[in-house]
Structure 1
Amino acid sequence: MRFTRRLAFYVIALAILILVKLNTFGEDYSSVETFRGAQLESDVFYPLIARSINEGHLLKLSLNEEDFPFSPDDVYVNDHLQVMVSPAFLRELFSCSARVYDDSHLFVERGEETVSFYLNQQSAIFGEEIVELTGEPANRGGVIYVPLADVCKMFDYHFRWSSKNYQVKITAEEDAMAVNLPRSYDLRKKSRTASIRNQGSQTTCWAFASIEALESSLLPERKVTFDEKDMVANKPYAYSDQNGGDYTMALAYLLSWKGPVDETGEVAAHVQQARFFNQDDIDDIKWAVYKYGGVSTSIYANVSGANLKDSSYYNDATNAYCYMGSESPNHDVVIIGWDDRYEASNFSNSVPGDGAFICQNSWGTSFGEEGVFYVSYYDMNVGDQGVSYMNLEAVNNYDEIYQSDLCGWNGQIGYNKEDVTAANIYRARGNETVMAAGFYALDKNTDYEIYFVSNCDTVSTLAKRVKVAEGSVKNAGYYTVSFDNGVVVSPGELFAIVIHITTPGADHPMAIEYQSARMEAGYVDLSDGVGYISRNGLDWENVEDKASGNLCLKAYTKRNE
């Protein structure tokens, strides 16, 4: 029996090798050629090829001759050698909204165009037209995937796919790639808003806004209620609830995997990516709402207590608000839509033009329009400290997190120039594979190079670093970057994550935690990691000594069986 199985394995392997050598299957994955008079069985060989591509992460994708990065979880090759993609992939490639309703209906919005895909149906509704697909949408791990070739055709992108060299080449003209946002958009109409909460007399709006934005980012696919009280109770450092908080405190809690906590009291997701905005990023905020869900933001609430009715900047009749003063933000809300045609006359004060963000408050349903109000684009603060939680992952995405910045980002470090090299050294807790690193980009258009150092017993060992990832990010934010290949570490081994980061216009481009004035003493632990920075990548300074702080540079691992 053992010999028979081994023989069968070698026969199949030899057949595949002969096919590859003789090119008996070509670039057209839909055809199967004849080999020595026998028709190759696609249901035998295609699944083998697909499995090899998927397990080896061999698929490559380019857009207009430039590499297009993607997560392996968002793209796979099916048993018919069709390239299948997730809603998350569609959002990035086509600049669209792509959401799943009732576990079976993938609804795509792109400018004025809409597409509805349905599980187990080899047709889609494109606008008002029924379009035949090359394959059925599939449910894989609870995610709906659709044939990429079909979506490209609908949106006038040219698609080429070679199963021989595992290359997907997509090209598109500027007109096809240009997408105009709708003049108005309201997540309430898309079933993509969290329930209205009431913070009462507490100054914990920062937690309410963060939690509501998180919940919105998962809707409509996943309806979950996170606990804002847990965020407040487990904030990263002692700080009176009456002193309020901000998005950096929320991020410290979330990025350290303390939350978000669901109704069972367990951590229900891992935040791995968030984008930041300011009051000048009106269009970018709209895109974030459109693609990912609610965006938390800070405004100045010109009133004492949870009511704007006494404010001269608020029109109670139209639920419209526009603060035109110079006060700093003191209240957080969630942007859930916009209306470019919202008339300036709706505001109680004179504003330069039409347009407003639709914002969800945390003052209960008796406020505004069932808890919602309109904030003018010309408000002095709206959009400031904006956060879009665009990548919540399952809690089993990684097994371990290595970090030394439990208090989160509250300072920057550098050498009065736009680039710096930084390194965090950690001791492995087990036999693991280091899969990714996480860091803050403190402004737009940040470039990064990430390196890894094994057996990093001394600072001089940092010179032996090996590049494991590189790229750039358009927006400020927190990013988790997967390595090109994971690196195995042994129990007790010292390893280093090294990053060279360049942020145009920055003087201190590396995020750190340090003992700030608003913290009670003793919350920054300088013993949970060893960090270094360098002006030139050769000479290193200890961050704990230089700034009494820790680098915001995390590592993520999977345990090896």
Structure 2
Amino acid sequence: MKNKTRRLAAFLLSAAVVITAVPGMQERVYAQKTGGYTESPKSENVPVVQETKSRLKKAEAVPSAYMNKLSELTIRYPGVRDQGKYDTCWAFSAIGLAEFDLIADNQTADKSIDLSELQLAYFTYNNVEDPLGGTFGDSLNIMNHKNYLTMGGNLDFASRTLLQWEGVTDENRVPYALAPTTTTLAKSYAFDQDVAHLQNVYIINIHKNATQVKCEIMQHGSAGLGLYMDGTANYVGSAVYAETGENVATYYCPTSSVASNHAVNIVGWDDNFPASSFKNKPAGDGAWLCRNSWSDKTENNINSYFWLSYYDKSIEDAAWIFDFESADNYDYNYQYDGGADVGKLRGISTSANIFRAKKADNELVKAVSISLSKDANVPYTIRVYTNLTNLHNPKSGILAAKVSGTTTYAGTHTIRLNKAVSVPQGTYYAVVVELQKSGVGLDMEYAVSDSSLTSRVYCDYNQSFLYRGGSWEDVADVSTSYGGRIGNICIKAYADNAGTSIGAVENIKAVRCAKNAVRISWGKTAGAKGYEIYQASSKNGTYKKIAATTSTKYKIKTTSKKSVYYKVRAYKTTQGIRICGNFSGSVAVKR
């Protein structure tokens, strides 16, 4: 857990950091909120990816029209929800993404699903420390006694909250009807009653990667979008939709000078929707079918379902895709990045987070998460090192897993390891991420403040590290140098309780039994299937596995004239997964 006697960080550093970290520190972080929506830098200048249809799992081509009939939508998905008088469109959009994804992609829900928008709105602005203590000191606070229901927000804020696993929960536990009287919620509603976890966030340029947006809607059910909405007759029209013969609502804003003030969900499209159907005729045909949050009646109406022109000039760059899994996907979320604001870490290709296994006697690290909100198509290599001997060096342990790949869109990506990594309780392990593309960077927390909001971040020693100039640098040192305005790197590790454990090896001995041989022996560990033998050139150096045996002794051939150090640990196998115990103490064989 973070040392709570150290400083909390606040306020935004306006100048570039010496490590050229966190661009976005000089970006506009909060735009003036109007109508319930706060613009985010993540929705501007979204990187473009190469168009591909390879992510489609259920179709070979993107159709010209998809889910373009209200009758189709009402059969499969929940009805429209009403945000009422509060500025919570962003929470309704985010929860809509969750509900549609759990039906379309995760396939663990049906149209009866009803998740709580109030719970998300509350915990976005009233952060609580996560069960493992990793997010201590990170928060997004409302200034000047304003109300969390009238602050507005965006899908960026929502994603940051949901990635911490603060929700989502069922509507009947935190009903929106209680919004007028809900000023506080118990911490248990954040982490103990969740039904799904956000694992991936894709930020796609809707103007230049419309095909990709369509692919992801087909996979996940919907996409979130920020735009300028004026519900009056200025931009709202109506038309008879030829596909159904129904009278439908249309919307087109012809000016780009207006600020985004609303969030909706895209659920379908028609490439041939006539331009003549809009109040102000756009440059061409084609429209998105959008789900609004201004009514609880599911109908063809600007308040419910309406058609938005492809050419609307107020649409932000970013279409947001949220990919959820059931809440039982992993048992533990090891994380430090609980801050609401993150920015790109420039000029550093290799970085790491060190975690300590806390909850179970033995845990299995099964996946890691990396966040690159401003970069797409990034090649990466991730390495997991266990049993660290030096908490100032993330690579001082045993290389237990390695996985390589390439991200798709900008956003946050959960990456499964090729094999689960066993970590006994109390031991330290590191997730080291190397990016193999010039100019890209992982996200890092940073503190910001304006007249409405203050985002605080906290970074303790031996948590996040940067590799530069041939050595590791603790981010806490960098943060201290700049008044605590920089937080942790956005790397998470997901682990399960192994459900079993095995004891440590004891009574290890080693002797030279010949000029070129060493014999090591140790006591028997109850329940062990076998033993792994590790060797290093120094007591606190990097140990590498040299052998495995079912015996309690082993003879090693060596020609080294220098001192050699050995450690041994026991293991057993459960359901095909190797469960490892704590290492023995080190034993040296001198020259």
**What is the TM-score of this pair, normalised by structure 2?**
0.60
Q: Does 1:434 align with 2:434?
A: no
RMSD: 2.7
Q: What pairs up with 1:202-221 in 2 under 5 angstroms?
A: 202-219=86-103, 221=107
| Cα deviation 1:202-221 (Å, max 9, x = unaligned) | 11111000101111112264
Q: Which residue of 353, 357, 361 corresponds with 1:424?
A: 353
Structure 1 residues 408, 498: closer, same or farther in 2, change over 3 A? farther
Shift of 1:330: 1.8
Preserved CA contact (<8 Å) 1:192 1:216: no
1:462 partner SS: coil
Q: Which residue of 284, 298, 309 corresponds with 2:232?
A: 309
1:319 partner SS: strand
Letter in 2 for 1:232: A
Shift of 1:238: 2.0
2:315 partner SS: coil
Letter in 2 for 1:238: N
Preserved CA contact (<8 Å) 1:309 1:315: no
Q: What pairs up with 1:329-408 in 2 under 5 angstroms?
A: 329-364=260-295, 365=297, 368=301, 371-382=304-315, 384-390=317-323, 392-408=324-340
Q: Does 1:249 align with 2:157?
A: yes
Mapped to 2, the partners of 1:338 and 1:488 lie a distance apart of 47
Shift of 1:424: 0.8
Q: Does 1:444 align with 2:352?
A: no
Q: Does 1:517 align with 2:420?
A: no
Mapped to 2, the partners of 1:210 and 1:286 lie a distance apart of 18
Shift of 1:342: 0.9
Q: How many residues align?
A: 380
Partner of 1:95: 56
Partner of 1:482: 416
1:219 partner SS: helix
User: Which sections of structure 1, spanning at least 5 residues, go unmatched?
Assistant: 1-90, 98-109, 112-178
Structure 1 residues 455, 439: closer, same or farther in 2, change over 3 A? same
Shift of 1:313: 2.4
Mapped to 2, the partners of 1:347 and 1:273 lie a distance apart of 35
Preserved CA contact (<8 Å) 1:375 1:382: no
Q: Which residue of 167, 187, 208 corresponds with 1:259?
A: 167
Mapped to 1, the partners of 2:325 and 2:259 lie a distance apart of 34
Structure 1 residues 450, 359: closer, same or farther in 2, change over 3 A? same
Partner of 2:385: 453
Structure 1 residues 275, 492: closer, same or farther in 2, change over 3 A? same
Q: What pairs up with 1:117-132 in 2 under 5 angstroms?
A: none
Preserved CA contact (<8 Å) 1:451 1:468: yes
| Cα deviation 1:308-332 (Å, max 9, x = unaligned) | 124x222256522222222332210
Preserved CA contact (<8 Å) 1:463 1:538: no
Structure 1 residues 490, 440: closer, same or farther in 2, change over 3 A? same
Partner of 1:232: 121
2:90 partner SS: helix
Letter in 1 for 2:449: A
Mapped to 2, the partners of 1:370 and 1:205 lie a distance apart of 12
Mapped to 2, the partners of 1:335 and 1:544 lie a distance apart of 44
1:438 partner SS: strand
Preserved CA contact (<8 Å) 2:294 2:303: no
Structure 1 residues 520, 554: closer, same or farther in 2, change over 3 A? same
Shift of 1:198: 1.0
User: Which sections of structure 2, spanning at least 5 residues, go unmatched?
Assistant: 1-51, 128-139, 143-147, 174-192, 240-247, 480-484, 501-591
Preserved CA contact (<8 Å) 1:399 1:556: yes
Mapped to 1, the partners of 2:413 and 2:69 lie a distance apart of 25
Shift of 1:505: 5.1
Preserved CA contact (<8 Å) 1:403 1:529: no
1:477 partner SS: strand
| Cα deviation 1:172-192 (Å, max 9, x = unaligned) | xxxxxxx24233433741534
Mapped to 1, the partners of 2:431 and 2:496 lie a distance apart of 16
Q: Which residue of 244, 249, 265 corresponds with 1:319?
A: 249
2:141 partner SS: coil
Shift of 1:459: 1.9
Shift of 1:526: 2.4
Partner of 1:300: 228
Mapped to 2, the partners of 1:258 and 1:212 lie a distance apart of 16
Letter in 2 for 1:400: Y
Shift of 1:521: 5.2
Q: Does 1:555 align with 2:493?
A: yes
Q: Does 1:276 align with 2:214?
A: no
Instruction: Decide which moves more: 513-522 or 447-456.
Output: 513-522
Letter in 2 for 1:202: Y
Preserved CA contact (<8 Å) 2:465 2:472: no
Shift of 1:225: 0.8
Higher relative contact order (CA 8 A, sep 6+): 2
Q: What pairs up with 1:33-44 in 2 under 5 angstroms?
A: none
Letter in 1 for 2:372: A
Partner of 1:491: 425
Shift of 1:353: 0.4
Mapped to 2, the partners of 1:94 and 1:434 lie a distance apart of 27
Preserved CA contact (<8 Å) 1:452 1:498: yes
Structure with the larger helix share: 1
Structure 1 residues 336, 433: closer, same or farther in 2, change over 3 A? same
Mapped to 1, the partners of 2:461 and 2:228 lie a distance apart of 37
